Amino acid sequence: MTEQQTVSTTQKNTTQDLYEDEIRLIDLWNIVWSRKWWIIGVTFIFAMLSLAYAIFATEWYRADVLLAPAQERNVSPLQNQLGGIAALAGVSIGSGDSVEAVATLKSREFARGFIEEQGLLKVFFADSWDSANQRWLVDDPREAPDLRDAVRYFHEQILRVNEDRATGLVTLSIEWTDPVFAAEWASVLVDRLNARMRERSLEEAETNVEYLQRELAQTNVLTLQQAVGRLLESELQKLMLARGTQEFAFRVIDSANPPKQRVRPKRALIMILGTLAGGLVSVLGIFLAHALRS
């Protein structure tokens, strides 16, 4: 077979394959078109179900608080020079790091205290609580929700903490079905966090002051007395600032207000996805039925 014949045969085969593919596509289109009312009906049912879900689904709202780390109030060149001595003595210098505050905010222990203080266990699992008889609607008491379930639910569904590492700003978000409660809880969390970090700093400063006072009374070396005295002055300053500062860990830049717009459900998106799902399911169902008959 010559080269020209080979090329001609290849072109014929390619043309035949394209023609067969075109026939297959036409067949598929004819199958779909013949069942167009079935597709329209199924798609309509899916669209209506999506609409019903979007209308009757529980609405959730999000309240945001914008926070800025409190400025370092007592770091000075003198304290930097005394850092080595303070480390040897077990004394920390400077205000708390915002990293610790954010970690505290995300901790299970902090969430547990907030839930207990606000009495939120029965609020989170209201569907499982019989308020009339004051008992859980479960057959086995071991299956009743407890604080561990509440903490997990709080972290997975309600609390959001986003930190901008470039600016240091922290956004605390609370999502809940009641916009007023969402704003209140966000504000309470910030207050509790500042109070918690303030209490820790006070305890640490008081412990350090007691330790330094004992060391100052026991040493007779003048140089060491001066160094301990300066450390003691620093800790007393830290103690004074902690007692007089309410926004100890974070300053509120933008406080929480009851939101007006819901964050979910996104009704338009639900309708679009539901309609597309209905069309896809109906077409796939037609092809599957045709394949089984063939």
Long-range contacts of 204-213 (CB under 8 A, 24+ apart): 204/92, 205/235, 205/236, 205/238, 205/239, 205/242, 206/239, 208/91, 208/92, 208/235, 209/235, 209/236, 209/239, 211/89, 211/90, 211/91, 212/89, 212/91
**Per-residue pLDDT tens digits for 85-111:** 444 444 444 444 678 899 999 999 999
Its pTM surpasses 0.85: no
Q: Do residues 168 and 75 make contact, with C-beta atoms less than 8 angstroms apart?
A: no
The larger pLDDT score, comparing residue 95 to residue 275, is at 275
Q: What is the pLDDT of residue 277?
A: 92
Going along the chain from its start, the domains and CATH numbers come out as 3-56+267-293 (no CATH), 60-264 (3.30.1890.10)
Mean pLDDT comparison of 153-157, 165-169, 202-206, highest-scoring range: 153-157
d(CA 87, CA 81): 11
Give the confidence band of 77 by pLDDT, cuts at 50, 70, 90.
very low
